[in-house]
Amino acid sequence: MKKLIVLAVLALGVTFSSNAQDKMMKKAQKTISLEQTTGEFTQKEITVSEGTYVFEIANNAVGHDVGFVLVQKGKDITKPENHIQTAYVTEVVATGKTQKSKPTTLAKGEYVYFCPMNPTSTDNILTVK
Protein backbone atom coordinates (compact mmCIF):
# COMPACT_ATOMS: atom_id res chain seq x y z
CA MET A 1 0.00 0.00 0.00
CA LYS A 2 2.81 2.45 0.88
CA LYS A 3 4.51 1.70 -2.46
CA LEU A 4 1.31 2.60 -4.32
CA ILE A 5 1.00 5.89 -2.48
CA VAL A 6 4.66 6.75 -3.14
CA LEU A 7 4.26 5.90 -6.84
CA ALA A 8 1.10 8.01 -7.03
CA VAL A 9 2.88 10.97 -5.40
CA LEU A 10 5.86 10.59 -7.74
CA ALA A 11 3.57 10.44 -10.77
CA LEU A 12 1.79 13.60 -9.61
CA GLY A 13 5.13 15.31 -9.07
CA VAL A 14 6.09 14.64 -12.69
CA THR A 15 2.74 15.97 -13.85
CA PHE A 16 3.15 19.13 -11.82
CA SER A 17 6.66 19.63 -13.20
CA SER A 18 5.43 19.15 -16.75
CA ASN A 19 2.57 21.62 -16.23
CA ALA A 20 4.96 24.16 -14.71
CA GLN A 21 7.28 23.81 -17.73
CA ASP A 22 4.37 24.27 -20.14
CA LYS A 23 3.31 27.47 -18.34
CA MET A 24 6.88 28.80 -18.42
CA MET A 25 7.16 28.10 -22.16
CA LYS A 26 3.85 29.86 -22.86
CA LYS A 27 5.02 32.89 -20.86
CA ALA A 28 8.37 32.92 -22.69
CA GLN A 29 6.78 32.89 -26.15
CA LYS A 30 5.11 35.99 -27.52
CA THR A 31 2.68 36.51 -30.37
CA ILE A 32 3.24 38.50 -33.55
CA SER A 33 -0.15 39.29 -35.06
CA LEU A 34 -0.32 40.07 -38.78
CA GLU A 35 -3.32 40.90 -40.92
CA GLN A 36 -3.68 40.20 -44.62
CA THR A 37 -6.00 42.11 -46.92
CA THR A 38 -6.25 41.70 -50.69
CA GLY A 39 -2.68 41.71 -52.00
CA GLU A 40 -0.89 42.91 -48.88
CA PHE A 41 -0.07 42.68 -45.20
CA THR A 42 -1.27 45.72 -43.27
CA GLN A 43 1.99 45.62 -41.25
CA LYS A 44 4.95 46.24 -43.59
CA GLU A 45 7.74 46.47 -40.99
CA ILE A 46 7.99 44.94 -37.54
CA THR A 47 10.82 45.11 -34.99
CA VAL A 48 11.03 42.67 -32.09
CA SER A 49 13.67 41.41 -29.69
CA GLU A 50 15.21 37.95 -29.86
CA GLY A 51 12.95 35.25 -28.53
CA THR A 52 10.29 32.69 -29.27
CA TYR A 53 7.20 33.85 -31.09
CA VAL A 54 3.96 32.45 -32.47
CA PHE A 55 2.74 34.10 -35.65
CA GLU A 56 -0.99 34.79 -35.70
CA ILE A 57 -2.24 35.49 -39.22
CA ALA A 58 -5.66 37.05 -39.85
CA ASN A 59 -7.43 36.92 -43.22
CA ASN A 60 -9.38 40.19 -43.50
CA ALA A 61 -11.71 39.80 -46.52
CA VAL A 62 -9.08 38.52 -48.94
CA GLY A 63 -11.73 36.31 -50.56
CA HIS A 64 -9.67 33.12 -50.53
CA ASP A 65 -7.35 31.19 -48.23
CA VAL A 66 -4.02 32.71 -47.24
CA GLY A 67 -0.80 31.45 -45.67
CA PHE A 68 2.45 32.80 -44.25
CA VAL A 69 6.12 32.33 -45.15
CA LEU A 70 9.13 33.69 -43.24
CA VAL A 71 12.65 33.65 -44.73
CA GLN A 72 15.95 35.07 -43.54
CA LYS A 73 16.67 38.18 -45.62
CA GLY A 74 19.08 37.48 -48.47
CA LYS A 75 18.05 33.85 -48.94
CA ASP A 76 16.13 32.70 -52.02
CA ILE A 77 12.45 32.90 -51.03
CA THR A 78 11.41 30.56 -53.84
CA LYS A 79 13.21 27.61 -52.24
CA PRO A 80 11.14 25.92 -49.51
CA GLU A 81 14.31 24.74 -47.77
CA ASN A 82 15.00 28.42 -46.94
CA HIS A 83 11.57 28.90 -45.35
CA ILE A 84 11.42 28.85 -41.56
CA GLN A 85 8.87 26.07 -41.47
CA THR A 86 7.81 26.46 -37.84
CA ALA A 87 6.51 29.91 -38.85
CA TYR A 88 4.04 28.39 -41.33
CA VAL A 89 0.45 28.60 -40.06
CA THR A 90 -0.74 25.16 -38.99
CA GLU A 91 -3.77 25.48 -41.33
CA VAL A 92 -4.49 27.75 -44.27
CA VAL A 93 -6.37 30.84 -43.14
CA ALA A 94 -9.90 31.15 -44.52
CA THR A 95 -11.55 34.53 -45.07
CA GLY A 96 -12.54 36.08 -41.77
CA LYS A 97 -10.48 33.57 -39.76
CA THR A 98 -7.17 33.59 -37.88
CA GLN A 99 -4.61 30.79 -37.60
CA LYS A 100 -1.36 30.43 -35.66
CA SER A 101 2.07 29.02 -36.36
CA LYS A 102 4.12 26.77 -34.14
CA PRO A 103 6.51 28.50 -31.70
CA THR A 104 9.42 29.92 -33.72
CA THR A 105 12.69 31.05 -32.18
CA LEU A 106 14.06 34.18 -33.83
CA ALA A 107 17.72 35.21 -33.64
CA LYS A 108 19.04 38.70 -34.36
CA GLY A 109 18.82 39.65 -38.01
CA GLU A 110 16.37 40.57 -40.73
CA TYR A 111 13.66 38.38 -42.20
CA VAL A 112 11.17 38.85 -45.02
CA TYR A 113 7.61 37.60 -44.87
CA PHE A 114 4.99 37.08 -47.53
CA CYS A 115 1.98 35.02 -48.52
CA PRO A 116 2.34 32.60 -51.42
CA MET A 117 -1.44 32.34 -51.82
CA ASN A 118 -2.28 36.07 -51.68
CA PRO A 119 0.32 37.71 -53.92
CA THR A 120 1.77 40.01 -51.24
CA SER A 121 4.98 41.97 -51.57
CA THR A 122 8.18 40.32 -50.45
CA ASP A 123 9.34 43.69 -49.11
CA ASN A 124 7.73 43.09 -45.70
CA ILE A 125 10.53 43.17 -43.14
CA LEU A 126 10.79 41.64 -39.67
CA THR A 127 13.82 42.95 -37.79
CA VAL A 128 15.04 41.09 -34.71
CA LYS A 129 17.33 43.08 -32.39
Q: Kindly report the CATH number assigned to the domain that includes residue 103.
A: 2.60.40.420
Domain range holding 95? Answer: 29-128
Percentages helix, strand, coil for the chain, rounded to the nearest 5? 25, 40, 35
Q: What is the pLDDT along the chain (129 residues), one digit of tens a residue?
A: 544 443 333 344 444 344 444 444 455 679 999 999 999 999 999 999 999 999 999 999 999 999 999 999 999 999 999 999 999 999 999 999 999 999 999 999 999 999 999 988 889 999 999
- Of 61, 60, 31, which Cα lies nearest the Cα of 46? 31
Please check whether residue 121 lies inside any domain of the structure.
yes
* Count of domains observed in the chain: 1
Contact 46, 99 (CB under 8 A): no
pTM: 0.78
Is residue 19 included in any domain, yes or no? no
